[in-house]
């Protein structure tokens, strides 16, 4: 069972939900936690894994043999991204624009192009108690995040029980890379017009991808009724409402887990899991 | 003309709430919402859309099932795992995974693959009670938000130059990826709104690194600072060590959340401690920008 | 010498377009005969790498020098490889810039004037 925790908008408490759920579930069986928020991976603050293995994520970019290259320009025609040009009679590669598609190398008539890895980020793994923890992290200044998300997902051991994926916020490509192929998406939102607006976009996306989904409302008591009304109208279940509490905010600020600091919340997260399971098996 | 960008690293730190207050207080400016992925600024500004423009993505590959013979060459050449086998043995291209590299189009021996145009989103020129707003909407699941950000910023700069606006206020995207990189270039001042949490501090450090990479002057403001005063001290100490000015602290104020619910900026809705702090923050920004203009002359 | 100037419209009286990769027009001028031709920027609608695509175009047209406002590092690298002289920071009309070039008032740039990926 793969569960992605996502939110149209950042800062709604997506990671909070994901890590607390992982903690209570890990008491009953193996759990894998995949931090796919590769621009801002934060789950490690809460689950405190000892990351003992690191793997670089890179794409293959062309390297030109200036002796073999005759400047014919076939590679330029093949590149959809303008990442290569013939200037000064030789092909010139602009690696930061290159998507690593390999198109140029395939067409070069003189075999002047070889491909070499260009690093985009790193995937780290290690145990966090009973949890097998995976984190993808892009290098600062790298515009391509999807390969790093895919790299993190590649660490998933398919046979091993529950997988929780912390998706990046928003609704663009990197989110699709994180939630595609999951059995369920839990959408975390806030009861404000901002939260509602972004929730609508997120719902549009998961519907398009045809993945069952439900909602958690965080800071449920400050705001308005918009999110509740929207979910009722659209037939989306609200599985959990977490009120605003200064103590919660403080716990989270210091990297604490709600289910540890406030044991009364443990059954609520367990109940959340059961509701999700019911919807998946239906 | 100056450009002020408001960033957050992590989302949900109150970036748009601050941008709303700046929009209400700044004279003679253009507003831009660069959070094209989850645009929220318009909820405070109630824009009247004057112009709508399409934004095209790179064309994607499409397989004609009538011509596909199921050889699977497309899947073997595609580096993005976008060409997938169907139950009937033929192949199709997942539009979400396709990056438009065209490699499969040339490789297909049956000539079954062609390129089709894709709409990635739309961008708008609007008028609001605080002046013009340039904003956009990316279709959920689409990519290339960085280019859309570059596009609307270019439109805003052009308009500002034509009509003689002094300032562009930009509500930036979250994160540190491609759209943030696009939103940072050519900025005169970036204000990063952060929260006093371990995650907030970590994200702040990553955005600061990025802004430095592009040589952009940075100021920091700490929202909800009183929810974790020690963390606030921690962040301020970090900023001091890094030589980054802290331009303001905003206390937690539930009224700020309510003002949004009414579709109003905080200054229009009430005058609690949160609003006061945001007004003071704007005065700070305004002074810094004026000094910069003076230096340029 | 063949000079190319980035322009906002298709005449010699046009203002210089400060952008290179995303300029509206490219005006090619033969400085010996003063004959000229304006071409719409073929890379204007490119989703990415416009600066590189325009560099390639300018190189294919065998221009010897370029006059524009700003140039990014990718285009700067490409044009340098091709040996095209680049004059940046120019403003005013195309005509004025050409006169300034002939009078020896323009100095070639040695590197990029805007940061990486500005037009991404
Ligand atoms: S690998 Fe693909 S994107 Fe990179 S230069 Fe070659 S053709 Fe262009
Ligand atoms: S296709 Fe090969 S030989 Fe032709 S320009 Fe490109 S690298 Fe050089």
Domains of chain B: 2-46+129-296 (3.40.50.300), 59-119 (3.30.70.20)
Model confidence band, residue B287 (pLDDT cutoffs 50, 70, 90):
very high
Interface ipTM = 0.82
Distance CA A118, CA A104 (A): 16
Distance CA C16, CA C6 (A): 6
Distance CA A148, CA B134 (A): 32
Which atom of ligand 1 has the smallest separation from the CA of A105?
Answer: 6
Instruction: Give the N- to C-terminal CA distance of chain C in Å, as an integer.
Output: 32
Mean pLDDT of B144-150: 77
Report the sign of the C-alpha dihedral through residues B124, B129, B132, B135, in that order. Answer: negative
Q: B145 exposed, middle or buried (CB, 10 Å; 0-12, 13-18, 19+)?
A: buried
Model confidence band, residue A173 (pLDDT cutoffs 50, 70, 90):
confident
Q: Is the CB of A98 under 6 A from ligand 1?
A: yes
| Amino acid C72: pLDDT | 79
DSSP H/E element including A266: helix A266-281
Max CA distance (Å), chain C:
38
| Amino acid B29: pLDDT | 95
This prediction has a pTM of 0.79
Of B14, C30, B87, nearest to A12 (Cα)?
B14
Which atom of ligand 1 has the smallest separation from the CA of A75?
Answer: 7
Length of chain B: 297
- Judging contacts by C-beta atoms under 8 Å, the chain C residues touching residue A96 are 74, 116-117
Task: Give residue-wise pLDDT tens across range A84-131.
Answer: 999 989 999 998 889 999 999 999 999 999 999 999 999 999 999 999
| Residue B71 bridge partners (DSSP) | none
Mean pLDDT of A128-149: 89
Q: Is the CB of A84 under 6 A from ligand 2?
A: no
| Residue C3 bridge partners (DSSP) | C29, C65
Task: Give residue-wise pLDDT tens across range C35-72.
Answer: 999 999 998 777 778 889 999 999 999 999 999 987 87
* Cα–Cα distance list, B15 to B8, B39, B111, B207, B223 (Å): 6, 12, 50, 14, 9
Mean pLDDT of B270-281: 89
- Judging contacts by C-beta atoms under 8 Å, the chain B residues touching residue A45 are 198-199, 202
| Amino acid A282: pLDDT | 64
Model confidence band, residue C115 (pLDDT cutoffs 50, 70, 90):
low
Ligand with smallest separation from the Cα of A101 = 1
Superfamily of chain region C2-102: Dinitrogenase iron-molybdenum cofactor biosynthesis domain (3.30.420.130)
A141, A168, A250: residue with CB nearest B210:
A141
Residue keyed to tokens 């490409």: C78
Per-domain residue ranges for chain C?
2-102
Mean pLDDT of B69-81: 95
Which atom of ligand 2 has the smallest separation from the CA of A68?
Answer: 3
Distance CA A98, CA B255 (A): 48
Cβ neighbours, 10 Å, residue A110: 13
Distance CA A272, CA B262 (A): 31
DSSP assignments along B114-133, one per residue: EEEEEEEEEEEEEEETTEEE
| Amino acid B242: pLDDT | 92
* Strand pairing class (B131-138; B113-128): antiparallel
Model confidence band, residue B147 (pLDDT cutoffs 50, 70, 90):
confident
- Judging contacts by C-beta atoms under 8 Å, the chain A residues touching residue B263 are 193
| Amino acid C67: pLDDT | 94
Strands (E) across chain B are located at 2-7, 29-33, 48-63, 83-85, 91-93, 113-128, 131-138, 167-171, 189-194, 218-223, 246-250
Q: B133 exposed, middle or buried (CB, 10 Å; 0-12, 13-18, 19+)?
A: buried
Task: Verify whether the Cβ–Cβ distance A143 to C120 is below 8 Å.
Answer: yes
Chain C residue with Cα closest to B178: C120
Share of chain A above pLDDT 90, in %: 70
C43, C47, C74: residue with CB nearest A94:
C74
- Judging contacts by C-beta atoms under 8 Å, the chain B residues touching residue C15 are none
- Judging contacts by C-beta atoms under 8 Å, the chain A residues touching residue C74 are 94, 96-97
Distance CA A82, CA A130 (A): 47
* pLDDT over 60 at C117, yes or no: no
Domains of chain A: 2-51+120-281 (3.40.50.300), 60-119 (3.30.70.20)
Query: Do B130 and B31 contact (CB within 8 A), yes or no?
Result: yes
Is residue A259 classed as helix, strand or coil in its secondary structure?
helix
Q: B61 exposed, middle or buried (CB, 10 Å; 0-12, 13-18, 19+)?
A: buried
Chain C contact partners (≥3 CB pairs within 8 A): A, B
Distance CA B250, CA B248 (A): 7
* pLDDT over 70 at B90, yes or no: yes
Of A22, A219, A251, nearest to A133 (Cα)?
A22
Q: How many CB pairs under 8 A join A and C?
A: 50
* pLDDT over 70 at A174, yes or no: yes
* pLDDT over 70 at B72, yes or no: yes
* pLDDT over 90 at B237, yes or no: yes
Mean pLDDT of B55-70: 92
Chain A contact partners (≥3 CB pairs within 8 A): B, C
Cβ neighbours, 10 Å, residue B33: 28
Distance CA B92, CA A140 (A): 35
Model confidence band, residue B116 (pLDDT cutoffs 50, 70, 90):
very high
| Amino acid A8: pLDDT | 77
DSSP assignments along A158-199, one per residue: TTSSEEEEEPPSSSSHHHHHHHTT-SEEEEEE-SSHHHHHHH
Mean pLDDT of A8-15: 81
Task: Give residue-wise pLDDT tens across range C3-17.
Answer: 999 998 899 999 888
| Amino acid B30: pLDDT | 95
Mean pLDDT of chain B: 89
Of C71, C92, C94, nearest to C5 (Cα)?
C94
Model confidence band, residue B296 (pLDDT cutoffs 50, 70, 90):
low
Cβ neighbours, 10 Å, residue A215: 24
Distance CA A265, CA A251 (A): 13
Residue with more model confidence, A34 or B173: A34
Query: Do B213 and A206 contact (CB within 8 A), yes or no?
Result: no
Max CA distance (Å), chain A:
72
Distance CA C12, CA C93 (A): 7
| Amino acid C120: pLDDT | 37
Question: At residue A215, what are phi and psi to the nearest 5 degrees?
Answer: -125, 145
| Amino acid B148: pLDDT | 85
C43, C49, C56: residue with CB nearest A86:
C56
Chain B contact partners (≥3 CB pairs within 8 A): A, C
Q: Is the CB of A99 under 6 A from ligand 1?
A: yes
Q: Is the CB of A197 under 6 A from ligand 2?
A: no
If one residue of A60, A63, A102 were mutated to test the ligand 1 pocket, choosing by the most ligand atoms within 8 A of its CB, it would be A102
Task: Give residue-wise pLDDT tens across range A200-250.
Answer: 989 998 998 999 999 999 988 888 899 999 999 999 999 999 998 888 888
Residue keyed to tokens 């009304």: A229
* Cα–Cα distance list, A235 to A129, A159, A202, A211, A273 (Å): 37, 32, 15, 14, 19
| Amino acid C4: pLDDT | 96
Distance CA B60, CA B143 (A): 12
Of C40, C27, C41, nearest to C95 (Cα)?
C27
Question: What are C62's two structure tokens?
Answer: 């065998």
Q: Is the CB of A6 under 6 A from ligand 1?
A: no
Max CA distance (Å), chain B:
70
Which atom of ligand 2 has the smallest separation from the CA of A73?
Answer: 5
Strands (E) across chain A are located at 2-6, 31-35, 53-64, 84-87, 90-93, 113-128, 131-138, 162-166, 184-189, 213-218, 238-242
Question: At residue B192, what are phi and psi to the nearest 5 degrees?
Answer: -105, 120
* pLDDT over 50 at B92, yes or no: yes
A143, A174, A224: residue with CB nearest B261:
A224
Of B3, B11, B14, B45, nearest to B278 (Cα)?
B14
């Amino acid at each position: 069972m793969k569960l992605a925790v996502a939110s149209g908008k950042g800062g709604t408490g997506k990671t909070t939900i994901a890590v607390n759920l992982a903690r209570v579930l890990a008491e009953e069986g193996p759990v894998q936690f995949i931090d796919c928020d590769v621009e801002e991976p934060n789950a490690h603050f809460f689950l405190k894994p000892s990351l003992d293995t690191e793997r670089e994520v890179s794409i293959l970019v062309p390297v030109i043999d200036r002796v073999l290259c005759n400047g014919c320009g076939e590679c330029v025609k093949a590149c959809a991204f303008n990442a290569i040009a013939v200037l000064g009679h030789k092909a010139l590669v602009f690696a930061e624009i290159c998507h690593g598609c390999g198109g140029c190398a395939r067409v070069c008539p003189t075999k002047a192009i070889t491909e070499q890895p260009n690093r985009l980020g790193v995937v780290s793994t290690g145990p966090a108690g009973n949890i097998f923890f995976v984190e993808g992290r892009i290098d600062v200044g790298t515009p391509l995040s999807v390969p790093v998300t895919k790299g993190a997902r590649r660490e998933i051991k398919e046979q091993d029980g529950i997988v929780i994926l912390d998706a990046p916020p928003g609704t663009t490509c990197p989110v699709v890379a994180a939630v595609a192929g999951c059995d369920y998406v839990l959408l975390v939102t806030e009861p404000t017009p901002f939260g509602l607006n972004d929730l609508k976009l997120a719902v549009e996306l998961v519907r398009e991808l045809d993945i069952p989904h439900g909602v958690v409302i965080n800071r449920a008591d400050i705001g308005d009724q918009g999110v509740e009304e929207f979910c009722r109208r659209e037939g989306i279940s609200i599985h959990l409402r977490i009120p605003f509490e200064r103590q919660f905010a403080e716990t989270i600020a210091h990297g604490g887990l709600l289910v540890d600091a406030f044991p009364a919340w443990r059954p609520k997260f367990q109940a959340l899991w059961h509701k999700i399971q019911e919807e998946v098996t239906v | 003309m100056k450009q002020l960008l408001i960033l957050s690293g992590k989302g949900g730190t109150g970036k748009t709430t601050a941008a709303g207050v700046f929009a209400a207080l700044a004279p003679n400016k253009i507003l831009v919402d660069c959070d094209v992925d989850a645009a929220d600024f318009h909820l405070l500004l109630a824009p009247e859309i004057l112009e709508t423009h399409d934004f095209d993505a790179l064309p994607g590959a499409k397989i004609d099932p009538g011509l596909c013979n199921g050889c699977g060459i497309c899947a073997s050449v595609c580096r993005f795992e976008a060409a997938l086998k169907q139950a009937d043995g033929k192949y199709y291209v997942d539009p979400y995974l396709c990056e438009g590299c065209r490699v499969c189009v040339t490789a297909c021996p049956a000539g079954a693959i062609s390129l089709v145009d894709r709409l990635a989103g739309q961008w708008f020129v609007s008028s609001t009670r605080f002046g013009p707003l340039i904003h956009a909407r990316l279709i959920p699941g689409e990519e290339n938000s960085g280019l859309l950000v570059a596009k609307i910023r270019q439109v805003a700069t052009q308009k500002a130059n034509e009509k003689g606006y002094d300032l562009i206020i930009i509500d930036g995207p979250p994160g540190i990826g491609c759209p943030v990189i696009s939103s940072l270039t050519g900025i005169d001042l970036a204000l990063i709104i952060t929260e006093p949490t371990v995650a907030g501090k970590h994200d702040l450090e990553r955005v600061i690194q990025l802004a430095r990479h592009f040589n952009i002057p940075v100021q920091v403001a700490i929202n909800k600072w009183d929810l974790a005063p020690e963390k606030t001290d921690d962040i301020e100490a970090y900023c001091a060590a890094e030589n980054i000015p802290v331009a303001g602290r905003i206390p937690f104020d539930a009224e700020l959340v309510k003002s949004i619910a009414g579709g109003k900026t905080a200054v229009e809705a009430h005058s609690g401690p949160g609003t006061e702090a945001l007004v003071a923050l704007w005065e700070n920004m305004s002074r810094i920008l004026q000094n910069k203009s003076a230096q340029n002359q | 010498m063949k000079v190319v100037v980035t322009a906002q419209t298709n005449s010699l009286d046009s203002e210089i377009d400060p952008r290179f990769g995303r300029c509206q027009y490219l005006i090619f001028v033969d400085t010996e005969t003063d004959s000229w031709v304006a071409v719409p920027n073929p890379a204007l609608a490119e989703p990415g790498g416009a600066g590189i695509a325009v560099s390639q175009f300018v190189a294919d047209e065998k221009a010897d020098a370029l006059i524009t406002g700003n140039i990014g590092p990718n285009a700067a690298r490409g044009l340098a490889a091709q040996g095209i002289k680049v004059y940046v920071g120019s403003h005013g009309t195309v005509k004025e810039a050409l006169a300034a070039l002939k009078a020896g008032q323009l100095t070639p740039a040695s590197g990029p004037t805007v940061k990486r990926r500005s037009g991404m």
